Amino acid sequence: MGHTDSIFALLKTGESNNPMIVTTKDLFQHAYGKYAVGAYNINNLEQTVGLFRGNLGKKGANEDPVDGKISAPFIIQISRGARAYSDKRMLEALIRSADQVFPEAVFAVHLDHGTEEACYDCIDSGFYSSVMIDASHHEFAENVATTKRVVDKAHAKGIVVEAELGQLGGVEEDVVGSVKLTDPAQAAEFIEKTGVDSLAVAIGTSHGAFKFSGKQGLHFDVLEKIQKAIPKNFPLVMHGSSSVPHEWVERINKAGGKLKDASGVDEKQYLPAAKLGVTKINIDTDGRLVWCAIHREHFRDKPEDFDLRPAGKTFMQAYAEYIIHKNEMLGSTGQLEGVRSALSGGKKSACGCCCGK
Ligand code: G3H
Ligand code: 13P
Ligand code: ZN
């Protein structure tokens, strides 16, 4: 068994080992073919709190009991933009604190769309359990070589790696992409040559709030071919998966926003994609829409207000509820105890559940 195969592959958080920050690979083993794990981007405190609450089925407050029927494993993603927004150490500190406030959570910490330099920084930090090297804008050979260098460094530390092949449309950090769907044969060759742990594929999605004009959707035919061409049970990743709900866009526009022709991925397509090997589904834009609607509405309805906390409180609750809904669509809802049980080798604990305590 290689170091990245260990089920408790983990991760030093400062001086202590925290067994509940796991690698994405650990989560994928439980999910593959059945459901997709939600990979949610964070930028600030309120998003972090809403995210943890939602994944534990806590609708109102941190102190609410965990709802095992809907609690879910999840992935926290941090983009380079997010790391630069306040300070990367602030986000790490938030996650370390959340881990204490919400000790029941099981999650991975992942660098989203990393450059080679950012990957090495995260690998060296000892905090991330997973990094994404995104060299998809380079030629195939260079993408392979860059990914392989990152894989070698990451695996030496028990950290797993996601890479990308093909190009999504839309804006990706500082790369403005033109669509290039992933070639199934190249995907197989890429996985073999790089030793990467999961692969982001371009199958018709794009980043942001303006994904489709007309009636396009996911290219399930391409996804099916990719799954057939690559090793059995190899996890695929779908970027640009926000559904850009009409309801939230409308709320934003009614409260003074100007989002015209926004559209996203049909949430009903998440589970069929999961059945074809998509094990990680990336959601960032939807969280921003919820944030925007709540804040616009709050200050529209209370123009005399200038306090940040009331709107922040409403947002944390709305975001938790949104995560609960999203996990239902991904099929990860109610999977937390199963994952915990798998991670602890199926052992039940003294308290009768499988929390490991
Ligand atoms: O793929 C891009 C993610 O949505 C991250 O966006 O770079 O604005 O944080 P960001
Ligand atoms: P969305 O813009 O659809 O939320 O995609 C996010 C993403 O892919 C992050 O890597
Ligand atoms: Zn992405």
The per-residue pLDDT for range 63-95, each reduced to its tens digit, is 999 999 999 999 999 999 999 999 999 999 999
User: Domain map of the chain by residue range?
Assistant: 3-244+256-284+316-343
Q: Whose CA is nearest to atom 2 of ligand 1?
A: 172
User: Is residue 183 flagged as an active site residue?
Assistant: no
Pairwise CA distance, residues 240 & 357, whole Å = 37
The per-residue pLDDT for range 297-330, each reduced to its tens digit, is 999 999 999 999 999 999 999 999 999 999 999 9
Residue pLDDT tens, the chain, 357 long: 333 333 334 433 333 345 589 999 999 999 999 999 999 999 999 999 999 999 999 989 999 999 999 999 999 999 999 999 999 999 999 999 998 999 999 999 999 999 999 999 999 999 999 999 999 999 999 999 999 999 999 999 999 999 999 988 654 444 445 678 999 999 999 999 999 999 999 999 999 999 986 556 799 999 999 999 999 999 999 999 999 999 999 999 999 999 998 999 999 999 999 999 999 999 999 999 999 999 999 999 999 999 999 999 999 999 999 999 999 999 999 999 999 999 888 654 444 444 444
Give residues with Cβ within 8 angstroms of 93, minimum separation 6: none
| Nearest by Cα to 342 from 22, 2, 13, 17 | 22
Q: How far is the CA of 156 from the centre of ligand 3 (A)?
A: 25
Three-state DSSP state, 177: strand
| Nearest by Cα to 194 from 149, 130, 240, 135 | 149
The per-residue pLDDT for range 230-256, each reduced to its tens digit, is 999 999 999 999 999 999 999 999 999
Residue 78: strand pairing partners: 111
For residue 208, the ligand 2 atom closest to its alpha carbon is 2
Q: At the fourth CATH level, which superfamily is domain 3-244+256-284+316-343?
A: Aldolase class I (3.20.20.70)
Residues in the chain: 357
pTM (predicted TM-score): 0.92
Q: How far is the CA of 237 from the centre of ligand 3 (A)?
A: 9
